[in-house]
Amino acid sequence: MNNCNNSILLPNPITQVASMPYPLYLSLQGKYFVGHSDELEFGNNTNAWAGLINPSCSGVNLHVYVWTVTNSGKYPINVQIWFNSNLPGSPYVSEFVTPSNTALCPLPSPRVDLLQATDVIDKPIEGVNAYIRTAPPDTTIVAEEDGKFIFPPGGSFIVFLSNLENPNEPAKGTVSFGWWEEKI
């Protein structure tokens, strides 16, 4: 819990210098967020997904900096990256989201939602299946996008998980994200 009486006050305005990593600069401003899904269970002919959803009324552009998938199952899982798709299943909001700078008071809240869904039968429709990766068992794959994937209000960045090689077997994995929000 953030206690504002014990918070560190940072000088304003924050000046970016060439040697300062851009994510640090954004974190100092309270614009950088991190979060992860629950452990998503799927397989047995179902899929799962987690993603960053930029609500149509957010007033920000979403910049994806990094995403990871941890495969904690026994079989390789298929990882599909989808842009701006309509999503299947009954999604719910992840409770595991925080600003990366916890010294600010009050703590900033993200305008972008981290949603997740398990035991999904269908696949995303419309949008773009941008690329596909494989996550081996007991492995975490990481992709640093450095903010180059940009989604306006109404857009989304989805990590869709399936157990293609062994569709009748159970699978599980966790998806994590780092992102920043740019006011428009």
Half-sphere exposure for 10 (CA within 13 Å, toward CB): 16
CA–CA distance, 97 with 12 (Å, rounded to integer): 25
Residue 52 has pLDDT above 90, yes or no: yes
For residue 169, give the DSSP letter.
S
Q: Please, which pLDDT band fits residue 51 given cuts at 50, 70 and 90? A: very high
Q: Would you say how long the chain is, in residues?
A: 184
pLDDT tens figures, 148-173: 999 999 999 999 999 988 888 999 99
What residue type is 44 in one-letter code? N
- HEC string of 107-151? CCCCCCEEEEEEEECCCCECCEEEEEEEECCCEEEEEEEEEEEEE
Report DSSP letters for 7-27, one per residue: PPPPPSSPPP-TTS-HHHHHH
Residue 15 has pLDDT above 80, yes or no: no
Residue 60 has pLDDT above 60, yes or no: yes
Average of per-residue pLDDT across 54-68: 97
Taking phi over 0 as left and psi of -120 to 50 as alpha, with beta for the rest, 4 belongs to alpha
16-25, 54-63, 72-81, 161-170: which has the minimum mean pLDDT?
16-25
Residue 14 has pLDDT above 80, yes or no: no
Q: Which residues neighbour 126 within 8 Å (Cβ) at sequence distance 6 or greater?
A: 84, 85, 86
Rounded percentage of the chain residues whose pLDDT exceeds 90: 76
Instruction: Give pTM, 2 decimals.
Output: 0.88
Chain Cα centroid distance, residue 94: 10
